């Protein structure tokens, strides 16, 4: 729901200020229409239905994987593709993966979104509408900005959305923003007040390889990015997650695991090894054994490391995969 349009419409109609809050409370609790909002006058419900579309996003496709993962492909009013994913875990956790941009201006070579043309930043309301879509299916409690786009390049809208997520059921502590290492964004996240978690997509312990697979590294070098993450930790006292996509023969050797372990302080960083979800790229994912060996080397050197469960592989749940395929299919 376009929250700015909601505000201006309510004030046009001469409605009291608390109406916007009432509408939001219903919406955040999973209402699917204005009609359900029984503490609003009936004629106001009818007017809002006409004047303020209930969502800024149109659902184009929804895919359900055998492991319970649900992936939604939406389009914005101006026809931009947006993807979001709901991951269901056995312990009951319900985690959302949200997009901050349609497409991405960065060109990480292994990432499907990186091969798309950049569309634009999403608004706060377009980000919230992804979460609200899933909230209408069931209660949700975690969120990561690991969908399409670089959240730090659209941080105003991302943070504005985060401010409202607790009423949807997702506290700031259960919200994580993932970045390629966009330093100005990391600094701003450090300086603002919400206790949101930081995740860094590292993918290589050295600058030469990192620049090759993530061209943004030419702009923000590894040492500077890690310094910004350490500063984040000093201020926030929250560990930083390192995301590391395992690419066979590229970044998965023993020497690289060792170098990674020596680069990171064990009290600041936790590593999350991500099995590569194959896209139409030049890369193959590392084998299960290679990933396990890599993890063991990190652990032996005191760095806590987990292997990310692969979710939704049968529905192309990796970043950008669905939008790229939908575009190719016309």
Separation CA 148–CA 157 (nearest Å):
14
- Pattern 38-77, ligand SAH, x by CB under 6 A: ----------------------------------------
Contact set for ligand SAH, span 192-251 (CB under 6 A): 201, 243, 245
Q: Which of 83, 126, 150, 243 is catalytic?
A: 83
Applying CB under 6 A, the span of 19-27, 75-83, 132-140, 271-279 interacting with ligand SAH comes to: 271-279
Separation CA 14–CA 323 (nearest Å):
41
Q: How far, in Å, are 88, 179, 181, 232, 244 from residue 260 at the CA level?
A: 31, 18, 16, 19, 10
Token pair, residue 40, equals 């609003």
Nearer to ligand SAH, 179 or 204 (CB): 179
Q: Which of 104, 108, 162, 319 is catalytic?
A: 319
34 binds ligand SAH (CB under 6 A): no
Q: How far, in Å, are 64, 237, 240, 243 from residue 229 at the CA level?
A: 36, 11, 7, 13
Nearer to ligand SAH, 159 or 319 (CB): 319
Q: Supply the minimum distance, in Å, between the C-beta of residue 245 and ligand SAH.
A: 5
E-assigned strand segments in 168-297: 175-179, 197-201, 240-246, 269-275
Q: Give the CA angle between residues 282, 286, 289 to the nearest 5°.
A: 165
Contact set for ligand SAH, span 107-126 (CB under 6 A): 110-111
Handedness of CA 41, 46, 51, 56 (dihedral sign): positive
User: Active site includes 234?
Assistant: no
The Cα diameter of the chain in Å comes to: 68
Nearer to ligand SAH, 27 or 277 (CB): 277
**What number of H helices and E strands is found in the chain?**
11, 12
Output DSSP code: residue 273: E
Q: Supply the minimum distance, in Å, between the C-beta of residue 107 and ligand SAH.
A: 11
Applying CB under 6 A, the span of 120-128, 133-141, 163-171, 274-282 interacting with ligand SAH comes to: 274-282
Q: Is 18 helix (H, G, I), strand (E, B) or coil?
A: helix
276 binds ligand SAH (CB under 6 A): yes
Nearer to ligand SAH, 27 or 204 (CB): 204
- Pattern 144-183, ligand SAH, x by CB under 6 A: --x---x---------------------------xxx---
Nearer to ligand SAH, 247 or 297 (CB): 247
User: Active site includes 111?
Assistant: no
277 binds ligand SAH (CB under 6 A): yes
E-assigned strand segments in 58-107: 58-64, 70-75, 81-88, 94-97, 101-102
Separation CA 166–CA 147 (nearest Å):
19
Residues in contact with ligand SAH by CB under 6 A are 110-111, 146, 150, 178-180, 201, 243, 245, 274, 276-277, 279, 318-319
């Amino acid at each position: 729901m376009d929250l700015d349009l909601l505000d201006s419409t309510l004030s046009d109609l001469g409605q009291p200020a608390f109406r916007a809050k009432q509408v939001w409370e219903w919406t955040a609790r999973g209402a699917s229409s204005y009609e359900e909002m029984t503490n609003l006058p009936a004629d106001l419900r009818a007017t809002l239905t006409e004047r303020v579309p209930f969502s800024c996003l149109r659902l184009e496709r929804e895919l359900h994987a055998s492991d319970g993962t649900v992936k939604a492909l939406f389009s914005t009013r101006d026809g931009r593709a947006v993807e979001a994913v709901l991951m269901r875990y056995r312990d009951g956790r319900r985690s959302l993966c949200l997009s901050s941009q349609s497409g991405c201006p960065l060109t990480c070579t292994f990432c499907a979104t990186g091969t798309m043309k950049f569309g634009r930043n999403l608004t706060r309301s377009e980000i919230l509408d992804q979460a609200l879509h899933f909230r209408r299916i069931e209660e949700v409690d975690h969120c990561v900005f690991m969908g399409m786009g670089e959240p730090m390049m659209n941080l105003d809208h991302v943070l504005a959305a985060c401010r409202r997520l607790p009423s949807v059921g997702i506290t700031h502590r259960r919200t994580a923003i993932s970045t390629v290492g966009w330093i100005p964004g990391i600094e701003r996240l450090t300086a603002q007040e919400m206790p949101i978690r930081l995740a860094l997509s590292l993918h290589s312990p050295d600058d030469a390889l990192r620049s090759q697979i993530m061209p943004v590294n030419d702009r923000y070098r590894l040492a500077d990015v890690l310094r910004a993450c350490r500063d984040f930790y000093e201020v926030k006292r929250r560990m930083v997650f390192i995301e590391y996509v395992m690419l066979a023969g590229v970044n998965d050797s023993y020497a690289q695991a060792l170098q990674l372990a020596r680069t990171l302080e064990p009290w600041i960083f936790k590593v999350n090894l991500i099995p590569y979800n194959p896209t139409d790229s030049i890369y193959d994912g590392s084998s299960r054994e290679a990933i396990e060996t890599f993890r063991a080397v990190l652990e032996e050197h005191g760095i806590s490391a987990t292997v990310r469960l692969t979710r939704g592989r049968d529905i192309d749940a990796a970043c950008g995969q669905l939008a790229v395929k939908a575009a190719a299919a016309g």
